[in-house]
Amino acid sequence: MSPSLVPRYVRRFSVTLFSCVALLAFGPCLGQSEVVVVRAQASKVVEELRLSGTLTTERRAGLSPRVDGLVAEVLVDAGDKVSAGDAVLKLDATLAMAVQRRVDAEAAQAQASRNEAKRRVDEARKLVPQQTLPKTELEARIAALELAEAALAAAQASAREQDELVQRHVLKAPFEGVITAKHAEAGEWVARGTAVLDLVSLDAVRLDVQAPQEIFSALRDDTPVQLIPDTLPDTVLDARITARVPVGGGSGARTFLVRVVASEPSAALFPGTSATARFSLAGSGASAVQLPRDVLLRHPDGGYSVFVVETNGKQSVASRRKVSVGRDSNGLVEIVAGVKADESVVTRGNEALRDGDTVRVVAPQG
């Protein structure tokens, strides 16, 4: 049969059936797209500032012995952790200990002499009233006692001095930390003032950064700040500003020192490595709409648009809006114009939408 002889209603039915099959292949016949929306919220604008620097420690010392001597034993090595007061190096104290024994003996001899002088004075004081001993003898014995007491004091001072010299042959850690370098071995002769070990404290690691002059004035001691070690970029530590130096570094860069310290000690912070300080600066105080980056659709000309879900009778319709964007921080984008607070903006399913499409919201967010 010629197509021209096919009844008109049959051809119309065929066209309608094909259209429905096409819709079934590419989507529901109702033409609704399922979307996820987020409610636009107005919040105070917060500007984020990131400054990088090198982690340092408040306490770093090159340990040196307090007397000259031959190294007898090095008790630590690089990488060892020590506590305050731990012995880290010993010098040969054989000669010093020999001298100590001699002065201790001299102190004991002086003590005995003083005791004898004291006994003779006590004896004289009993005999003088009985007139069996002249008074001049008592005075002589008192003078001898004073000389013996002075000699005892000198001997005891020498003993304490020598005891201190013996103790100085043992080098102790002045604070808790980690040995970062060893510069001497057993058998070496070292002199006072020569660093034999390097000790670094890990308790108070700090980050010094240089803030531009236009930012420095906005920083306060209570400005929220976080530390991010570059060795562990996923680690974010709460921190605080401990110093702001209002004097430029003199290099002509017009930057000023800001010192940041983690609120709690962390094993993620290593002196000598780099880190980033993230400051949260309050803006002008005005509120702005902030939305997730996923709502944005980029245009070939570099502009942006979003789909806003509007109610048209009993239907929800996607309306395309051109928007102007502002700051981008923490996964949120500031929408300067194009979206108002409390409007529902499509965050998923917006790639295939067209202006005016009917949509069904499956999971509203926010």
103 and 225 inside one domain: no
CATH number of the domain that 264 lies in?
Answer: 2.40.30.170
Is the pLDDT assigned to residue 160 strictly greater than 70? Answer: yes
What SS3 class is residue 79? coil
Non-local (6+) Cβ contacts of 276 within 8 A are: 50, 51, 52, 227, 228, 230
292 and 357 inside one domain: yes
**Is 100 a domain residue?**
yes
243 and 296 inside one domain: no
86 and 192 inside one domain: yes
- How many distinct structural domains can be found in the chain? 4
Element (H, E) at 118: helix 94-127
pLDDT tens per residue, range 13-54: 333 333 333 333 334 444 577 878 778 777 665 677 889 999
Q: Which of 263, 242, 253 is nearest to 211 (CA)?
A: 253
Whole-angstrom distance, CA of residue 265 vs CA of residue 134: 78
37 and 76 inside one domain: no
Largest interatomic CA distance in the chain? 170
120 and 79 inside one domain: no
37 and 103 inside one domain: no
226 and 211 inside one domain: yes
Q: Which one of 147, 168, 189 terminates a domain?
A: 168
Average pLDDT, rounded, for the chain: 83
Q: Which one of 259, 285, 311 terminates a domain?
A: 285
- pLDDT interval class at 140 (50, 70, 90): very high
Is the pLDDT assigned to residue 354 strictly greater than 90? Answer: no
Q: Mean pLDDT over residues 291-310, rounded?
A: 83
Output the CA–CA distances (angstroms, integers) from residue 308 to 33, 298, 354, in the order listed.
14, 15, 11
209 and 276 inside one domain: yes
CATH number of the domain that 134 lies in?
Answer: 1.10.287
Look up the domain containing 144 and give its range: 93-168
280 and 327 inside one domain: no
**Is 2 a domain residue?**
no
Whole-angstrom distance, CA of residue 152 vs CA of residue 154: 5
Whole-angstrom distance, CA of residue 76 vs CA of residue 88: 6
Whole-angstrom distance, CA of residue 161 vs CA of residue 182: 30
Write out the two tokens for 134.
Answer: 């002249």
**Is 229 a domain residue?**
yes
pLDDT tens per residue, range 243-274: 988 876 555 567 889 999 988 878 788 888 89
Q: Which one of 285, 301, 329 terminates a domain?
A: 285
**Is 12 a domain residue?**
no
27 backbone dihedrals φ, ψ, rounded to 5°: 165, 170
154 and 183 inside one domain: no
Do 323 and 338 form a contact (C-beta atoms < 8 A)? yes
Whole-angstrom distance, CA of residue 170 vs CA of residue 43: 62
Percent of the chain surpassing pLDDT 90: 43
110 and 155 inside one domain: yes
Strands in 197-200's sheet, in edge-to-edge order, are: 60-63, 197-200, 177-182, 81-82
